[in-house]
Amino acid sequence: MMLHIPQVLTRSGVEAVRAIIDAGDWSDGNATSGVQAALAKKNLQLPLDSTAARDAGALISAALERSLLFVAGALPARILPPLFNRYGPDDAFADHIDNAIRVMPDGSRIRTDVSATLFLTDPEAYDGGELTVDDTFGVHQVKLAAGDMILYPSSSLHRVEPITRGARTSAFFWIQSLVRDDGRRALLFDMDMAIQRAALTLGQGDPAIITLTGGYHNLLRMWAEP
Ligand code: NI
């Protein structure tokens, strides 16, 4: 499932994050790549342990906790601290699948189930730079407003198209989900959204809503992993 989450950051939130990271020390983006990905990637990245990445990451983590759509769509168990990248003229990241396992700051390991890109540059400011994702339903090209985020399965083949004008700055991170399987996560999300919509007209106390809500939670109980 691919999920567009509008306005994870407000306009002033984007400006606050950009003020922090734009003043940071950017370095070659291959520091976080596996050997094979490094061959295909050309961009800049804020070092993981830099003050700028930590401070801006904290603003984004707080915004994620407030986003009901993010929680419903990702069903997060653990979230890696956000990283930041910048693609300038001729930069790109060719087709790849993200590493399955990543290391948290405390040294523990998480499985990457969901990948997230939070756009921090308005689309008018650059040409190219689309995030292209091949999932089971076809090829999707994504270029969102600053502050908007896309979630996609970490198992999908994806790339960042070459930049032909301007620069594209984004935050990106991975989520280990309570529900590992993308199809199950998508089903739970669709159910959750449909129940919420139906409850608006029927009311939370309607017997059908109570049964459907119970069904949602019983599926989640069955599928949730520790
Ligand atoms: Ni990737």
Whether 52 and 162 share a structural domain = yes
User: Is the pLDDT reported for residue 204 higher than 80?
Assistant: yes
Asked whether residue 132 falls in the same domain as residue 75, the answer is yes
* pLDDT tens-digit map of 35-80: 556 568 889 999 988 999 999 999 999 999 999 999 999 999 999 9
The CA 96 to ligand 1 mean position distance, Å, reads 6
Kindly give the distance from the C-alpha atom of residue 97 to the centroid of ligand 1, in angstroms, as a whole number: 6
pLDDT of residue 226: 77
What are 215's two structure tokens? 């069904």
* Distance (Å) from CA 158 to ligand 1 centroid: 6
Q: What is the pTM of this model?
A: 0.93
The Cα 78–Cα 175 span in angstroms is 6
What the block records as the tokens of 31 is: 């520091």
DSSP 99-167: -SEEE-TTS-EEE--EEEEEE-S-GGG-EE--EEEEETTEEEEE---TT-EEEEETTSEEEEPPEEES-
Domain identity same for 135 and 154: yes
204 and 106: one domain?
no
- Give dist(CA 60, CA 108) in Å, integer: 21
* Mean pLDDT across the chain: 94
Do residues 47 and 95 share a domain?
yes
What phi and psi values does residue 115 have, to the nearest 5 degrees?
-105, 145
Q: Say whether both 56 and 37 belong to one domain.
A: yes
* Residue range 166-188, pLDDT digits in tens: 999 999 999 999 999 999 999 99
Residue 50 Cα, ligand 1 centroid: separation in angstroms?
Answer: 21
Say if residue 187 is in the same domain as residue 101.
no
Ligand 1 centroid distance, CA of 136 (Å): 17
57 and 30 both lie in a single domain:
yes
Q: Is the pLDDT of residue 32 over 70?
A: no
Query: Are 21 and 111 in the same domain?
Result: yes
State pLDDT tens for residues 136-156: 889 999 999 999 999 999 999
Last residue of a domain, one of 157, 177, 197: 177
Listing DSSP states for 73-104 in one string gives HH-EEEEPPPEEEEE-TT-EEEEE---SEEE-
Q: How many angstroms separate the alpha carbon of residue 40 from the centre of ligand 1?
A: 11
Co-location of 46 and 136 in the same domain: yes
- Clarify whether residues 53 and 152 are in a common domain: yes
d(CA 123, CA 130): 9
Give the distance (Å) from ligand 1 centre to CA of residue 83: 12
Measured in angstroms, how far is the CA atom of residue 65 from the centroid of ligand 1? 23
Share of the chain above pLDDT 90, in %: 88
If asked whether residues 140 and 94 sit together in one domain, one would say yes
> Domain boundary residue among 141, 161, 177?
177
Number of domains in the chain: 2
User: What ranges make up the beta strands (E) of 7-79?
Assistant: 27-28, 41-42, 44-45, 76-79
User: From the CA of 197, how far away is ligand 1's center (Å)?
Assistant: 33
Note whether 96 and 37 are within 8 A (CB): yes
Question: How do the residues of the chain divide into helix, strand and coil, expressed in percent and rounded to 5?
Answer: 40, 30, 30
**Which residue segment(s) compose the domain that 71 sits in?**
3-177
Q: Tell me, what CATH number does 119's domain have?
A: 2.60.120.620
